[in-house]
Chains A and B, each alone.
Chain A
């Protein structure tokens, strides 16, 4: 028995599921697994009766709808899903930019650096600076590669508890420590007097509700909000602690890595996706932003059939999976029960929209790019240009996903556009617009 089959059954290809891959990156303290690879799941909805026991790759399940109709439905639903991703990405960027522009802490240069970027950038010599930033990038990327490989190995050997513990530890750190730092800086900026008991109460509540929402169950909007907030916090940390040039080179390098890791046959992320597909289970939804309700997964839990909207169901699935693996004996019984519920839920899911998912790493790196654009100078045009470029990149990525229907990385196109627009707007458009504004010429 595999409870995640129920998830499969209700995968509705009409919803043009586009889940974008993003690499796993180490956190500030090596604890947090920021971005998670995801699979692209434009799976067809399996015919209800046959989906229960079939293992095997998605491609075999071809629904009976003709191609054209399915494609049009994909596109129709595709636009909706693009917007469902635009909004959280925009919100994350807005939070980051607003913080950067108001709280000076995140733009102050310190001599402190992350251990992942050990080489100091000397502002005096261009060649040395470039060399050091490239070295920093190599260190960072190799750390990321190693982390991803460890993750894939752990996943392959089913060490789910370890991965879970890792994720919990890192989200603990984000939700408590980083938000405490953030709140402290905001209070300093606005000169708000705050006492420790109140602060402890606020941080405690924020953190605990966050942990529950993210790792267990919670209202969809709250969970989405928490994911956006922790992505923004992580992006702010990167913006603060990555040296100037290293940040740009790292952004470029990580999109190349993303491309390689997802598309190459032996790439770690691709292996992760394929392993997950073989086992018919989704990959670590714990750190993936999900934009829509997942109705039937509540049904997968035999203990509470009416749990209604459940948005974070991984833990449940994994628990069930763990339970299932341990209880081979009651398998057939469970199967029947599951089958009944799955059928019901799959029908119900006919009308339900699956929504889209995007890895938190993508959020983070998009926000890092826009945040860094906001840091340099007081120019809002650059920030706006990067913002539009990233959104268009995301749109194009989702379009490609709808066309190719296989796992695609979300970073390369957006980051490339973002970088191109950042450098060209900063160096070419800014002087032009400034001269125009000085004379009040309008184009």
Chain B
């Protein structure tokens, strides 16, 4: 427990997101603003969905545990749908902003492309989602306490961290795909993103049966990553070029 678990879980959950932030977002002020606005939109969606859940809870019998559980599951799915709605709303806002920037600039470009905005928006959603899931757990992991003292799983912290990492990356990929789908008006892409999000949330309902939730979620993350890479213009050729460039750099420096 305590410090080792705290740092371990913190790095697992937030390491990649932090690295992505530092290397791709931090230098450009516009991207930072888009990131924070993305986080804000995710927060809004969470607020509305918890409002709905709260009303449902208050209107129902608090003693009936299965009902409460059912309402929580309903809350989960509703929240997922609302997140996607807010992602779409954010897309519309960003499009308006790009149009505005493009209209007033001399050359036809704007400072940031839609693809970059998609990535940053997705990252913003992911970071906020991860932070909200993980931060309280991290502060509890500093101790003192005993994990699973009432018979729950021993692996609570590490699975929470792994799940958070997966979700952060997934939100990033979904952001890219979603915006791409909206740009090209490919509604099946959007539908796929939404249904995959629902699927992932549904898989998490299988917890604490971690075999049922974590590996499938990671497989989905990998698939999403590949899909997002190809959808945003990457190709095997560019990967190849990247590898050879690194090899050349390495050879030249050594």
Chain A residues with CB under 8 Å of chain B are 68-69, 71-72, 75-76, 79-80, 82-83, 86, 378-381, 384-385, 388-389, 391-392, 395, 421, 424-425, 427-429, 431-437, 439-443
Contacts and interface: CB of A to CB of B under 8 A. Distances in A.
Chain B binding site: helix, strand, loop or mixed by DSSP?
Answer: helix
A145 to B, nearest CB: 33
Lowest 9 CB-CB distances: which A-B pairs, in order? A432-B50, A440-B207, A83-B29, A442-B204, A79-B29, A380-B135, A443-B79, A79-B30, A428-B50
25 contacts: A68-B105, A69-B104, A69-B106, A72-B101, A75-B101, A80-B29, A83-B29, A378-B136, A385-B43, A388-B40, A388-B128, A424-B47, A424-B51, A431-B54, A433-B50, A433-B136, A437-B137, A437-B160, A440-B204, A440-B208, A441-B201, A442-B164, A442-B200, A443-B46, A443-B201
Interface stretch (B31-39, B186-194, B236-244, B245-253): B31-39
A271 B37 CA distance: 34
A441 B43 contact: no
A4 to B, nearest CB: 30
Interface in B90-147: 101, 104-106, 111, 128-129, 131-133, 135-137, 139
Nearest to A83: B29
Contacts of A72: 101, 104-106
Nearest to A392: B40
B222 to A, nearest CB: 18
A83 B28 CA distance: 9
B133 A437 contact: yes
Given A79-B33, A429-B47, 17 more contacts: A72-B105, A75-B104, A76-B111, A82-B33, A83-B29, A380-B136, A384-B131, A388-B40, A388-B43, A432-B46, A437-B137, A440-B160, A440-B204, A441-B201, A441-B205, A443-B80, A443-B83
B136 A437 contact: yes
Contacts of B167: 442
Given A384-B132, A428-B51, A442 B36 contact: no
A434 B57 CA distance: 14
A305 to B, nearest CB: 34
A10 to B, nearest CB: 23
Interface of B: 29-30, 32-33, 36-37, 39-40, 43, 46-47, 49-51, 53-54, 57, 69, 72-73, 75-76, 79-80, 83, 101, 104-106, 111, 128-129, 131-133, 135-137, 139, 156, 159-160, 163-164, 167, 200-201, 204-205, 207-208
A202 to B, nearest CB: 29
B201 A442 contact: yes
B143 to A, nearest CB: 13
B72 A441 contact: yes
A83 B135 contact: no
B12 to A, nearest CB: 15
Contacts of B164: 442
Contact of B54 (A71, A76, A428): A428
Given A83-B29, A392-B36, A436 B72 contact: yes
Contacts of A384: 131-132, 135
A440 B29 contact: no
B137 A432 contact: no
Contacts of B160: 437, 440
Nearest to B124: A388
Given A432-B54, A437-B137, A83 B32 contact: yes
Contacts of A391: 36
Given A384-B132, A388-B39, A428 B47 contact: yes
A433 B53 CA distance: 11
Contacts of A439: 69, 72, 207
B199 to A, nearest CB: 12
B110 to A, nearest CB: 9
A72 B98 CA distance: 12
B95 to A, nearest CB: 16
A83 B37 CA distance: 13
Given A384-B131, A436-B76, A392 B47 contact: no
Given A68-B104, A80-B29, A441 B159 contact: no
Given A86-B32, A429-B46, A441 B204 contact: yes
A435 B139 contact: no
Contacts of B101: 72, 75
A157 B81 CA distance: 61
A443 B129 contact: yes
Contacts of B201: 441-443
A80 B133 CA distance: 31
A267 B55 CA distance: 42
A67 to B, nearest CB: 8
Contacts of B137: 437
Nearest to A424: B47
B93 to A, nearest CB: 12
Contacts of A381: 132, 135-136
A346 B131 CA distance: 46
A80 B31 CA distance: 10
Nearest to A77: B29
B33 A432 contact: no
A44 B160 CA distance: 53
Contacts of B47: 421, 424-425, 428-429
A252 B10 CA distance: 35
B53 A395 contact: no
B50 A429 contact: yes
A442 to B, nearest CB: 4
A432 B53 contact: yes
